[in-house]
Amino acid sequence: MSTDALLSVADLTASVDEKTILHGVNLQVAAGETHVIMGPNGAGKSTMGHVIMGDPVYTVNSGSIIFDGADITELSCDKRSRAGLFLSFQAPVEIPGVPLSSFLRASIAGRPGLEMRGKEFRRRVKELAAQLDMDTAYLNRELGVGFSGGEKKKVEMLQLLLLQPKLAILDETDSGLDVDALSVVSRGMDAYRSTCDGSLVIITHNTRILEHLDVDRVHVMVSGRIVREDDASLIPWIDEHGFESFEREADETADAC
């Protein structure tokens, strides 16, 4: 395991409404690496992304999250974002009354190296929109309100490219079902890898999204625990066999306890 990890999650236990969802999870991601977290529905994969990002809904009971050399376990999510962490959502939340462009401008405001003057900002955003094949009319529309599935994904990818995080967690649990969304995400990931050279953590239970992607490590999560970690060769194996054997193992371990 690399000692100079960009993200280091150690023995992380987290709960919601007194129900423990993550049980002592460990995860190390080095700079520039691409990791995949896979697992069946309800395994706690999305929770993991949210806890790393600091969703106040969850309580961290024990363990730590170190990012870029600093302990961020106690930081609020806006500070984690400004530290260079990014979490994509299945879809942006709807915020009526807030045009997408106003929101984007606020999100880069005060970020060294990213803050842009009016016209420059508009040009940059239009450039990225073109790269993602997104209609620029959406920039004047209210965030998330009445956007199609594909447009919602584009909004998320646009932010990924605009904010240029050091590490992006892409929660794509449902994207595998939608061909349009899938292609948007693939395009976004390619652009991110080629322009920012940041780390990627992709959360999915569908391997299609991983085609054409150089995956460094695969983590399999079952019932809130990482039960297997391996290189990219695990992906075709999972494709063929699914998660059943991992689930069985997890059950047996649980029984043995």
Partner 1 sequence: MDALKIKQASAMPAPTWGWLRMNDTAIEIPAGLERARAVTIEADEDLTETHASFEGAVEKLQERLDAVRADAPDTRACVRAAEREQELLDDLDTPALSAYQLAATREEIAGDVAHAFETGIGIDARSYLNFLAGGTVVLATEEGACEQAIVRVAGTSGHMAGAAVDVVAAKGSTLDVVISLDGVADSSRAAGLIGSELRVFAGEGARVNVTVYITADDVFTVLDDAGYVLDEGARVNVRHVVLGGAHTYTGLASDLRGDTARMEIDTRYLAAGDDTRDFNYIIRHRGRRTFSNMDANGVLTGTSKKVLRGTIDLIHGCKGAEGSERETVLLANKGVDNKTVPVILCDEDDVAGNHGATIGHVRPEQLFYLGCRGLSQEQAEALFTAAKLEDAALSAPDEQIRANVIRLGSALIEDFADFEEEIA
Chain residues in the site for partner 1 (CB under 8 A): 53-57, 76-82, 86-87, 89, 92-93, 95-99, 101-103, 105-107, 109, 111, 117-119, 121-122, 140, 142, 159, 163
- Toward partner 1, which CB reaches closer, 10 or 116? 116
Within 8 A by CB and 6+ apart from 143, the residues are: 92, 93, 94, 95, 98, 99, 100, 103, 155
- Toward partner 1, which CB reaches closer, 119 or 212? 119
CB of 8 to partner 1, least distance (A): 20
Q: Which of 159, 126, 130 is nearest to 140 (CA)?
A: 126
- Toward partner 1, which CB reaches closer, 103 or 216? 103
CB of 145 to partner 1, least distance (A): 11
CB of 84 to partner 1, least distance (A): 10
* One-letter amino acid for residue 189 of the chain: M
Separation of alpha carbons 249 and 241, rounded Å: 14
Separation of alpha carbons 146 and 128, rounded Å: 21
Q: Which of 227, 229, 230, 234 is nearest to 253 (CA)?
A: 227
Contact 146, 178 (CB under 8 A): no
CB of 108 to partner 1, least distance (A): 8
Separation of alpha carbons 210 and 215, rounded Å: 8
CB of 91 to partner 1, least distance (A): 10
CB of 47 to partner 1, least distance (A): 13
Strand (E) or helix (H) holding 19: strand 19-30
Separation of alpha carbons 92 and 132, rounded Å: 16
- Toward partner 1, which CB reaches closer, 31 or 95? 95
- Toward partner 1, which CB reaches closer, 57 or 179? 57
- Toward partner 1, which CB reaches closer, 130 or 179? 130
